[in-house]
Structure 1
Amino acid sequence: MTLSAIPLPPIPRLPVAVPRSGVSGEARRALRQLLGDLDRAIAVAFRDGADATALARRRGESVTRIVAHVWTACLGDVSHAALFAIGGFGRGLLFPYSDIDLLALVEQSDAARLRALEQCFATLWDIGLKVGHAVRDPAQCQTLAAADASVFTSLLDARRLAGDPALDAHLRNIIDAPGMWPPREYLRARLADRDARHARFDDTANNLEPNIKDGPGGLRTLDSLRWLGQRIAHANDFPDMVSEGLLDPAECDTLLRAEATLRRYRFALHLEAGRAEERLLFDYQRGIAAQLGFEDEHEKNLGVEQFMQGYYRAASHVERLGIQIADRFEEMLEAPSAPQPVGTEFIRYGARLAARDPDLFMRRPAALVDIFIARLDEKGLIGFSADTMRRIHQATAVHGTALADEPQALVSFLQLLRRGAPAVDALWRMNRHGLLAAILPAFGQVFGRMQYDLFHVYTVDEHTLRVLRNVARFADPATQAEFPLACEAWSTLPKPEVLLLAALFHDIAKGRGGDHSVLGEEDARAFCTKLGLQEDDTERVAWLVRWHLLMSTTAQRQDITDPDVVHRFAEVVAGRERLGQLYLLTIADIIGTSPRLWNAWKDRLLADLYTATRYALRRDAKPSRDAAARIANCREQALALLTSEGHDPAVVAQVWAGFPDLSFLRHHPQQVAWQTDAILKADGKLPLIAVHPMSVRGSTELFVCAPDRDGLFANVTAMLDRLHFSVMEARVLSSPDGKAMDTFLLLEAENQRPASQERAEELHQRLQRALAQSAPIMPPRRSMSRHLKHFQMAPRIDFKQAGGRTQMALVCSDRPGLLAAVSQVLMACEVRVHDARIATFGERVEDFFQLTDRRNAPLGETQQQRLWQALVERIGPAKE
């Protein structure tokens, strides 16, 4: 059935209102019933496929009649007073749970009239309308409008519902008053409002739980464009803007299609939430996707992901065009300037660049890229002229993906990439104009592509552009203090275009099914060949795309203090240039995935792996993989640190007699020196608790030395959970004389930063008191967050035997107190922990443990099965 064939609910028939009689209880019940029937009919029509805009208008028309009926019943055929709809209601649109915004404009107010107004608004609330109202006289209205652009804006949409028609002219006089928000001032105010709103949403439409109304690219953006059109160009809607030359027909169609999508989604969201909810929360996304007919294609293209891609694409179109149209309004208000040549094909008018020949982009497609290069080279430019922007859009639409096979356009694109870091800004702008997706059709496929999880907080295209921007930061001397190794690695790159291309392609195959790294490698190799890149450079790009996750997974999931781990990693990398490129891409990728993912611990972890691998790749270097040599080297460096602090080498040697060899194999010399210093200062008192707020490992380091006993690890993790610390890594060692020497690397759970001095002292005191007692410490019970409840999975637990221990890999859903819960299970199953590496990726946890039984033997099949069962029962999907 077509949309036009679906009948809309009829506008309700109302009884004739008796002026000034008020609304009786019986009449109120009838109106309440009428509204309920109307909303149910509208909901049914929407679920049957009726158009959301048509339904919102029908609801607006119906509510208009009801509101006018109540006004007449309460105030009668009154003079010198009128009721106006403002906001969305003023535009005649009402979504299922939208507020009813009203303005009562009253020239003469007395006590009786005020009581009648109070009765009118109370009645509207009583029958089920959520009313927001203001009562003002014309002078008050003018004063407020002059002081506040948002009040003035609300008057632009005002529509009289009932009352004295003469008040229409009063309202018009307020809007048209001399000096009342001249176009230039009004534009500044609206842009300031836009920037403030966008800042609340990280300046992107591509958030995990976007706000359909107020977020970047939301319905408010479309409203703002209409308001600017009214004020600056006397154009009330997008078709009028086409007539005024502010939009071309294709742009107008794009905006109207995007608006239809956003309205449909907002309508569905209100119905799904049962209230005026404007955020597409995880609570509703799956339900709305199913309601609108989206189905899972495969596990990497879920129905909910397709649904959200529809939102992100619509919002991105609105956001991009909104920025460009605002530029055009600014250009309209600028004083004319004399043209100045820019090369042979371009010209500038003040701070705006234009093409000399109006047909340039149609005649020579490569000029579409060249104009972005010219903008990089020419100083003082703020954008393109309105006419040039329009012609870029038109030419891009006409040429389409044929640009991907246009030899000269590819030559220009490669020339741009060879600019290095400055090219990134041009790539962002090209994406805003749709040009990047035309040159890279595969990039167009991931436009608006989201992943339904808590780890990837941006769509694939937004993430890719952020990765590129992060890469460009390494060329900026101002970031030297924050990323010293990365800046050094960038400075050694002979061909920055290799890294930029790898960043462009690293996630380009997501959503197709299969391994996106493998598929992306194929895409990258094909494009680089077409681009005319040298064979060696093509292979470097393809290799980086294929292995872009290798460094982060190696660092976070394996023990990089083990030379065998570093050696295996170095064999795959097989070159210092590739190592530097992979290191830069890894950092940029992590930071570009989520603002919360990057922290000092990961910085140090990757830096350690980078440094160790760089040394391993030196041709003249033969790093010892012999344990005795490495122990001796660590002891030597640690002793030098201790003697420099005034410690007697003989006393240090006595302390080290109680250290296991693994302390020197698995710890940095600085860590060994710090632990030794803590033991010497403790003068034999146990349990010893030492806390280093910011250790050499980029985290807060906790050292626990105590008589070894089963349950110690569980008690420590329970206390850390109580104090809201996240454990990033734990190393559990036993000394030859029966002491536990456990090291924990910690970050604050709240912000993933090392602890302050005060928090470190609190941890020291609380844990010291707790471990001095023999009673077990139980982790606190905390409820799961709303977000995590939507991403529960069955635990995956794998065991394998290696080096006289059992290695357990645990992949499961995150939850408060997870490590403490796992520790309790291990203790109950009589299992000892010797090493733990903790990695959290959004809602997904990947933890790795080295375990033995209480006789320090590997776990047998029976004990593994018992442990597996206990973990599944304890940390399986929440049933709350």
Structure 2
Amino acid sequence: MSDIAPVIPLDAARELITRYKTRLKSGGEALRVSYESRPLTDPLLKGRSHLVDGVLRELWKDFDLPASAALVAVGGYGREELFPCSDVDLLFLLADQPDEDLSERLTQMIGLIWDIGLDIGHSVRTAEECLEEAALDVTVMTNLLEARFLCGNAPLFGHVVTSLRSQINPGQFFKAKRLEQEQRYTRHNETPYSLEPNCKESPGGLRDLQVIGWISRAAGFGTHWRDLAKHQLITDEEATELRELERFLQHVRIRLHHMTGRREDRVLFDHQEKLARKFGYAPTEARRASEVFMQEYYRTAKKVTQLNTILLLNFGVEFFPNRYPAAININERFQCVREMLDVRDEGVFDRHPSALLECFLLLEQRSELKGMTARTLRALWRGRKLINAEFRQNPANRALFLRILQQKRGVVHELRRMNQYGILSFYLPAWRRIVGQMQHDLFHVYTVDQHILQVVRNVRRLMVAEHAHEYPLLTRLCTGFEKPWLIYIAALFHDIAKGRGGDHSRLGMKDARDFCESHGLEEADTDLVEWLVGNHLSMSNVAQKQDLSDLEVIRRFATVAKTERQLTALYILTHSDIRGTSPKVWNGWKGKLLEDLFFATQRLLRGATPQQALGTPIRQDDARNLLRYYGLRPATEDALWDQLDTVYFLRHDAEEIAWHARTLYYRVNAEEPVVKARLSQVSEGLQVMVYMKDQKDLFVRLCGFFSRLGFSIADAKIHTTRHGYALDSFVLLDPGQEVHYRDFINLLEHDLTERLHSNAPTDQPASGRVSREVRHFPITPEVNIRPDERGLHYIMSVTAADRPGLLFGVAETLVEYGINLHTAKIATLGERVEDTFLISGPSLSQDAQVLKIESDLLEKLTV
């Protein structure tokens, strides 16, 4: 603690704080009112900068700082773009190292700046330190490039600016900022299409525009978009467009700050509907106002990334003009320049419209090409409107588009590039409607166009040898599939009709057939693509919601699949589709369900008997072989297996049957509960087995216990033996993916055994907050109870928004009405659950009781 007396006495400091705080608050409110009445970005951003300028200059005088020092605005404040709740970045510039008196003055002034309500980022440096730090740290260099003198020693500030200009290397600065941008893209998932983008930092946000501004300043090209046009780095039209894009994003950020009262740059679900209203967007019959607004946001972000790419390419040529050899001609339309595809002149597309597709084909075919030059991208963007009805009907262009899909490399890269520069939207008119279209189904995390391209990427990845270890069965099926590019076409069209109203699968079938017929595909291939689009949801619905041990389920699905070719293609597409929705939706357990359904259906289509199709004898034989492998004598398993019926062997695979037998063969009539857990043999998670004398509320107790530990139940198989024992199997997952599953095995076995043995009270499920997605895009819960095909059991389907304790509430209701649970298929799709239960009980035969059960469940499922 310094012994130096405060520069400004406490009472005087309080008076200053009150005065300046009031001034900032009233000035900020006046700026806000003015903006709301006439939304203009420059008056607000510059107005707040000037408001803060005045306060800081007066404070500088209040603290009587020496004439040798200077106060400098840097960062966004330096370029006079101070958003309502942004940090105020300051540099206290000194001629020499500060003595004790100056240090104390600066410390007290900085503290008072915080007290008056300004969030500041500050540094205190000498001129030499500034130049040294700038040489070592590109962030410091960037801040100083935007430095603006406020008060104090102007010559000292001028010396720093002049010295900085002389030491900066524009080429090195360009490379550093481009690398910085790549790292930022990686942090934000390399896409502008996040459902909750950051309007400043995400790809296509304000930072992409600021990067261009920084490089332009470093190179001496100017500080405005029109300055870049004067240097012929962009066209006048592009300069105007950049300013319009910048204004839109500035409006988004300003309104976010005003709405939240803090520095909030994320366009969260909480804010999207309010933002839409602020921008004047209204809902339509099929879409919310927020969806209309977000589609405009994504289009803006897309254009920003396009122009950012063009300018970075132009900067690279400007800074490194002689790095590459002379152009190499490819054909009369294109050449290779610096490993980039270049048009031989900017009128190529006007003379040869087919070249609009040919350029993408060349990038696939020639591995030495790393991308397109800026002038090619610009010519491509201008020429995209040449793709009209006549262009689409040209057989040569149709053949070119198919060849793009049929190449051995680069298919996904070029489809994404075609989407980025508007070529897909013009070639496939239906595509235009889904670009930037949000999906509020709580499990898709991408816009429709990006989801489709992700699905194509997943199918394509199965064709690449170096990724064969990821999904070996799928890779074998895909590489052995004749014309895998047909599955790419099905992927392109499977969701293309979303947002039109009605069944998007049925509507997409027509689009797919029209495409295939107009592109001259054989009838059998056309039928396959159309069928895949129409049935792309069927396999996941059966695998995740129906009982795969029921032969009737497999038979019905086989009548849908019809042929092994269609089955294989659907398996590939379904697997890729689920994985393309969200990283949270896919897990190995879902993969196992799809695989089981595929093999069972394949065996049936190949003429296997019902028992062979379900693999029951094979499973028992395989389980016996495993038991022998583990050293158990022949017939050891008989005592347990005599108490199990065929349904048990249908519902469990051989490895699981053997695990149960090894655990229970010597305690078939155990008086105490038997609990065993192990790492899942399929993927992440735990497998848990509970064996004990049956109790009517056992499933509820187990749900409560697992919930209290923080696990979600991915699958449950409830079985009662002939002699009245419960043999229940579960697959548990940690929704937060923060658990080391191995560490929980002993704890889970010990604690659950103790609770079951002591008949402890039922654990109440862990409480938790409902996610933002569920709050803003609620799902109306649905419950449906219907008899199965043979009338022996009932199938209960539950659809609802996911939340802690949901399964516990369902189980509690079943117990209350005396309903027996046989199996539970738990399908969690992001924030949405679609669970299916096989149940039985006398109350289910009475319509009035069924209605009451459904009503009670709906009440519990409502968030």
Using the size of structure 1 for normalisation, the TM-score is 0.91
For residue 785 of structure 1, report the CA deviation from its aligned partner: 4.4
Structure 1 counterpart of 2:185: 198
Structure 2 counterpart of 1:868: 854
For residue 556 of structure 1, report the CA deviation from its aligned partner: 0.6
Matched-pair contact (CA < 8 Å) for 2:844–2:850 = no
- Whether 1:185 aligns to 2:172 is yes
Distance in 2, matches of 1:393 and 1:865, equals: 59
Q: What do the CA deviations read for 1:671-700 (whole angstroms, capped 9, x no partner)?
A: 322222221154643322232422368863
Q: What do the CA deviations read for 1:340-370 (whole angstroms, capped 9, x no partner)?
A: 2223432212312212243211111111211
Q: What do the CA deviations read for 1:620-639 (whole angstroms, capped 9, x no partner)?
A: x1432699x97555444433
For residue 829 of structure 1, report the CA deviation from its aligned partner: 3.4
Within-5 A mapping of 1:12-27: 25-26=14-15
Q: What do the CA deviations read for 1:655-686 (whole angstroms, capped 9, x no partner)?
A: 22211331123222333222222211546433
Distance in 2, matches of 1:241 and 1:402, equals: 37
Within-5 A mapping of 1:297-696: 297-298=284-285, 300-334=286-320, 335=322, 336-397=324-385, 399=387, 403-420=391-408, 422-618=410-606, 621-624=607-610, 634-682=619-667, 684-685=669-670, 686-695=672-681
Structure 2 counterpart of 1:209: 196
Distance in 1, matches of 2:843 and 2:658, equals: 31
Helix, strand or coil at the partner of 1:176: helix
Choose from 43, 60, 71 the match for 1:71: 60
- Give the counterpart letter for 1:29 in structure 2: T
Matched-pair contact (CA < 8 Å) for 2:70–2:153 = yes
Q: CA 1:634/1:398 → structure 2, altered by over 3 Å: closer, same or farther?
A: closer
Q: What do the CA deviations read for 1:593-643 (whole angstroms, capped 9, x no partner)?
A: 11122211111111111122222222xx1432699x975554444334434
For residue 714 of structure 1, report the CA deviation from its aligned partner: 0.9
- Whether 1:131 aligns to 2:116 is no
For residue 718 of structure 1, report the CA deviation from its aligned partner: 1.4
Identify the range of structure 1 (717-726 vs 358-367) with the bigger mean alpha-carbon deviation: 717-726
- Whether 1:232 aligns to 2:219 is yes
Distance in 1, matches of 2:214 and 2:706, equals: 54
Q: CA 1:401/1:235 → structure 2, altered by over 3 Å: closer, same or farther?
A: farther
Structure 2 counterpart of 1:174: 163
Choose from 29, 46, 69 the match for 1:57: 46
Q: What do the CA deviations read for 1:442-491 (whole angstroms, capped 9, x no partner)?
A: 22222211123531111112222221211111111122222112111211
Distance in 2, matches of 1:645 and 1:112, equals: 81
Aligned residue pair count: 849
Structure 2 counterpart of 1:245: 232
Q: What do the CA deviations read for 1:232-256 (whole angstroms, capped 9, x no partner)?
A: 3624232222222322334334332
Distance in 2, matches of 1:702 and 1:20, equals: 70
Structure 2 counterpart of 1:821: 809
Matched-pair contact (CA < 8 Å) for 2:715–2:825 = yes
- Give the counterpart letter for 2:120 in structure 1: V
Matched-pair contact (CA < 8 Å) for 1:81–1:105 = yes
Distance in 2, matches of 1:578 and 1:865, equals: 40
Q: CA 1:44/1:522 → structure 2, altered by over 3 Å: closer, same or farther?
A: farther
Matched-pair contact (CA < 8 Å) for 1:450–1:460 = yes
Matched-pair contact (CA < 8 Å) for 1:72–1:162 = no
Matched-pair contact (CA < 8 Å) for 1:794–1:872 = no
Helix, strand or coil at the partner of 1:161: strand
- Give the counterpart letter for 1:242 in structure 2: A
- Whether 1:749 aligns to 2:735 is yes
- Whether 1:39 aligns to 2:28 is yes
Q: CA 1:630/1:98 → structure 2, altered by over 3 Å: closer, same or farther?
A: closer
Helix, strand or coil at the partner of 1:134: strand
Distance in 1, matches of 2:485 and 2:239, equals: 36
For residue 402 of structure 1, report the CA deviation from its aligned partner: 6.5
Distance in 2, matches of 1:543 and 1:451, equals: 24
Distance in 2, matches of 1:60 and 1:535, equals: 67
Helix, strand or coil at the partner of 1:858: helix
Aligned alpha-carbon RMSD (Å)? 2.7
Distance in 2, matches of 1:45 and 1:648, equals: 87
Distance in 2, matches of 1:59 and 1:233, equals: 27
Choose from 269, 294, 298 the match for 2:256: 269
Helix, strand or coil at the partner of 2:766: coil
Matched-pair contact (CA < 8 Å) for 2:694–2:725 = yes
Q: CA 1:49/1:469 → structure 2, altered by over 3 Å: closer, same or farther?
A: farther
Matched-pair contact (CA < 8 Å) for 2:710–2:766 = no
Q: What do the CA deviations read for 1:800-832 (whole angstroms, capped 9, x no partner)?
A: 123322322111111122212322232233332
Matched-pair contact (CA < 8 Å) for 1:289–1:304 = yes
Helix, strand or coil at the partner of 2:754: helix
Distance in 2, matches of 1:196 and 1:87, equals: 20
Identify the range of structure 1 (243-252 vs 441-450) with the bigger mean alpha-carbon deviation: 243-252
Q: CA 1:731/1:379 → structure 2, altered by over 3 Å: closer, same or farther?
A: closer
Matched-pair contact (CA < 8 Å) for 2:611–2:617 = no
Q: CA 1:778/1:865 → structure 2, altered by over 3 Å: closer, same or farther?
A: farther
Distance in 1, matches of 2:344 and 2:616, equals: 71
Within-5 A mapping of 1:698-709: 700-709=686-695
- Give the counterpart letter for 1:257 in structure 2: E
Within-5 A mapping of 1:782-797: 782-787=767-772, 788-797=774-783
Distance in 2, matches of 1:630 and 1:468, equals: 33
Q: CA 1:636/1:110 → structure 2, altered by over 3 Å: closer, same or farther?
A: closer
For residue 269 of structure 1, report the CA deviation from its aligned partner: 0.7
For residue 148 of structure 1, report the CA deviation from its aligned partner: 0.4
Distance in 1, matches of 2:120 and 2:738, equals: 43
Matched-pair contact (CA < 8 Å) for 2:843–2:849 = no
Distance in 2, matches of 1:587 and 1:752, equals: 25
Distance in 2, matches of 1:280 and 1:453, equals: 18
Matched-pair contact (CA < 8 Å) for 1:210–1:279 = yes
Distance in 2, matches of 1:59 and 1:397, equals: 42
Distance in 1, matches of 2:373 and 2:765, equals: 61
Distance in 1, matches of 2:9 and 2:160, equals: 25
Matched-pair contact (CA < 8 Å) for 1:450–1:458 = yes
Identify the range of structure 1 (87-96 vs 650-659) with the bigger mean alpha-carbon deviation: 650-659
Matched-pair contact (CA < 8 Å) for 2:684–2:733 = no
For residue 405 of structure 1, report the CA deviation from its aligned partner: 4.3
Matched-pair contact (CA < 8 Å) for 2:708–2:766 = no
For residue 111 of structure 1, report the CA deviation from its aligned partner: 4.6
Structure 2 counterpart of 1:772: 757
For residue 275 of structure 1, report the CA deviation from its aligned partner: 0.6
Choose from 696, 714, 719 the match for 1:728: 714
Q: What do the CA deviations read for 1:263-289 (whole angstroms, capped 9, x no partner)?
A: 111111111111111112223223323
Matched-pair contact (CA < 8 Å) for 1:296–1:302 = yes
Helix, strand or coil at the partner of 2:527: helix
Helix, strand or coil at the partner of 1:222: helix
Q: CA 1:221/1:357 → structure 2, altered by over 3 Å: closer, same or farther?
A: closer
Distance in 2, matches of 1:859 and 1:161, equals: 83
Distance in 1, matches of 2:104 and 2:746, equals: 63
Distance in 1, matches of 2:325 and 2:192, equals: 35
Matched-pair contact (CA < 8 Å) for 2:412–2:460 = yes
Distance in 2, matches of 1:478 and 1:681, equals: 47
For residue 559 of structure 1, report the CA deviation from its aligned partner: 1.3
